[in-house]
Structure 1
Amino acid sequence: MHAPHTAVPTADDAFTRLDNRDGVACLTLARPSSRNSLSERMMAELTTALDQLADDKDVRAIVLAADGPAFSAGHDLKEIQSHRNDSDRGRAYFEDVLRRCATLMTRIVRQPQPVIAAVEGMATAAGCQLVASCDLAVAGADARFCTPGVNIGLFCHTPMVALTRSVGRKHAMEMLLLGDWVKAEEAHRMGLVNRVVPSGEALAGAMDFARQIAAKSRVPVKLGKAAFYTQAEMGLDDAYAYASQVMAENMLARDADEGISAMIGKRQPYWEDR
């Protein structure tokens, strides 16, 4: 049993909301009027919140949710179009905003705590990328996913990076080339989401995942998440060599000794997170 953690206060005009309780942080996109588009400010607030949570030892899992009928409509296209008349036709701004987006997505992957998306409504373009970047995802039955850039003359190049690391190549290419909507059940079949729950229950489903994770030792979860993404980029022999090294390190942890002893002794383990 972990002690409740005080909610982090946010400004009334903030684009995000953060609430921490019982080892789980719920980070909410709170700009429904813009369909929670990933504007500069939204991405900055999300990245800052994740940076702060990374060092919070009371937070063992993170749920990423959203207010309103849309999870996220992707980049703020009005913000992007406003730079078309820059002297370089917007090139410097486009490159900068895409770097900011990449920073957010890689922050999720490199976050020491697992990040679980709770998706209701639509998740399009960079919003779909956000879901694909999370470690786990739960979708309401009415959720829909799309990478529609090709329909407006703009291939979803950066969402492609997360998508191809989340679903099979043929599925990714279908989404990227056709730009069609993918319903929640199809997204589950493709591997983009882990579970589909009744509409309106995605947050509850994501919290179930998070609470199960929060009940475990931080040591294997942190080591395991980092190792998962590292070995996935390696060849087979290198992956086994790396994973063996990390697992040996994990075996030396106090909690591994405690967990194995508890299993042999048929008792509940007591975690010290070391």
Structure 2
Amino acid sequence: MNFVRNLTKVVLIPRSTYGIRSYSTPSQLIVKEEEGIRTITLNNPKTRNALSLEMLQELEETLTRPSPDLRCIILSATGKVFSAGHNLKELTSSDGRPHHQLVFDNCSGMMLKIQQLSVPVIAKVNGIAAAAGCQLVASCDIVVATENSLFSTPGGSVGIFCSTPGIPLVRCVPRKVAAHMLLTGLPISAPEALQAGLISKMVSEADLDAEVERIALAISSKSKPVMALGKKFMYKQMDMNIKEAYQAGSCVMVDNINMTDGQEGIDSFIKKRKPVWSHSED
């Protein structure tokens, strides 16, 4: 049984201070890049923005598309559902185990890419994020959600436990919260998600655009290689004990200080002026 596809093609020509770029937009995404900020919008509301194999492949390609100007990525969605998770219509027995493995391998690869990207990824959530949709939210670096958003891992209710969605979930929230979500399938509200640490900020629907823009601009105003260095170590040190983390962190700080932009930052602070970043890896 084939999944529903949104065949509307949109071609956007973003403008930025760094020049004009033209991208062909995937069939299930709306993509815009301007002023160093790439906005990727899941655009298949007919399937509740299901993470079909096609959607997963398009997401990974768009997330990893090279751009020297890129500073930040925003993930958002059209409709009242951020994402309802995997499209179950392509996970029937008639599709076969090799296809099922392909879907989940692509999903895991795309989720890992978010953490491995050198730029921060912000999830902009206004609605329901369920199953693999919740996994996508939990995989992002920063999450801003509206007060009415809901988050759930309800796979057990349809006979498919949310094992892979639980991977980033248990790394974001306390164990008892993760167990409640995974074992009951019951949704948690945005206030509960904020308290548990699944989301970074909760705002009204009216303030969502402005708050995400404020965060994206705060990120994009900084040195790209400095942010890349910091994000990489932020995740790396999570798997270390505290002694190893401090030892490695000291070396990272020394490397950072001796970068061109590290010295520029120190000099601009001492001289009370705005830094001018080179964005050089040196």
TM-score tier after normalising by the smaller chain length = over 0.9
The answer as to 2:75 corresponding to 1:61 is no
Give the aligned partner of residue 23 of structure 2: 9
Shift of 1:7: 5.5
Aligned mates of 1:200, 1:37 — CA distance in 2: 25
Shift of 1:237: 2.0
| Cα displacement string for residues 33-72 of structure 1 (whole angstroms, at most 9, x for unaligned residues) | 11100001100100001121xx312110000011111100
CA contact (8 A) 1:5 1:21 kept: no
CA contact (8 A) 1:120 1:142 kept: yes
- 3-state SS of 1:58 partner: coil
Aligned mates of 2:18, 2:177 — CA distance in 1: 41
CA contact (8 A) 1:64 1:117 kept: yes
Aligned mates of 1:100, 1:200 — CA distance in 2: 35
CA contact (8 A) 1:217 1:273 kept: yes
The answer as to 2:45 corresponding to 1:32 is yes
The answer as to 2:251 corresponding to 1:257 is no
Shift of 1:133: 0.2
| Cα displacement string for residues 14-35 of structure 1 (whole angstroms, at most 9, x for unaligned residues) | 1011101111110111111111
Which structure has more RCO (C-alpha within 8 Å, separation ≥ 6)?
1
Q: How many residues align?
A: 265
AA partner of residue 57 (structure 1): P
Aligned mates of 1:79, 1:203 — CA distance in 2: 34
Aligned mates of 1:151, 1:96 — CA distance in 2: 23
| Cα displacement string for residues 116-174 of structure 1 (whole angstroms, at most 9, x for unaligned residues) | 00001100000000000000000011111100012222211001111011112121111
Aligned mates of 1:180, 1:5 — CA distance in 2: 47
Shift of 1:243: 1.5
Aligned mates of 2:260, 2:219 — CA distance in 1: 18
- Return the TM-score normalized by structure 2: 0.90
Give the aligned partner of residue 142 of structure 2: 136
Query: Greater shift after overlay, 133-142 or 162-171?
Result: 162-171
Shift of 1:186: 0.9
C-alpha RMSD of the superposition: 1.5
- 3-state SS of 2:165 partner: helix
Among the aligned pairs, what percent are the same residue? 39
Aligned mates of 2:268, 2:169 — CA distance in 1: 40
Shift of 1:266: 1.4
The equivalent position to 1:98 in structure 2, one of 101, 104, 120, is 104
Shift of 1:8: 4.0
The equivalent position to 1:232 in structure 2, one of 235, 238, 248, is 238
The equivalent position to 1:43 in structure 2, one of 43, 51, 56, is 56
Which consecutive unaligned segments of at least 5 residues does structure 1 have? none
Which consecutive unaligned segments of at least 5 residues does structure 2 have? 1-15
Q: Describe the shift of the 1:200–1:158 C-alpha distance in structure 2 as closer, same or farther (beyond 3 A).
A: farther
Aligned mates of 1:6, 1:186 — CA distance in 2: 42
- 3-state SS of 1:158 partner: coil
Aligned mates of 2:273, 2:61 — CA distance in 1: 40
Q: Describe the shift of the 1:6–1:166 C-alpha distance in structure 2 as closer, same or farther (beyond 3 A).
A: farther
AA partner of residue 85 (structure 1): S
- Return the TM-score normalized by structure 1: 0.92
Shift of 1:5: 5.0
The equivalent position to 2:173 in structure 1, one of 160, 167, 170, is 167
Give the aligned partner of residue 223 of structure 1: 229
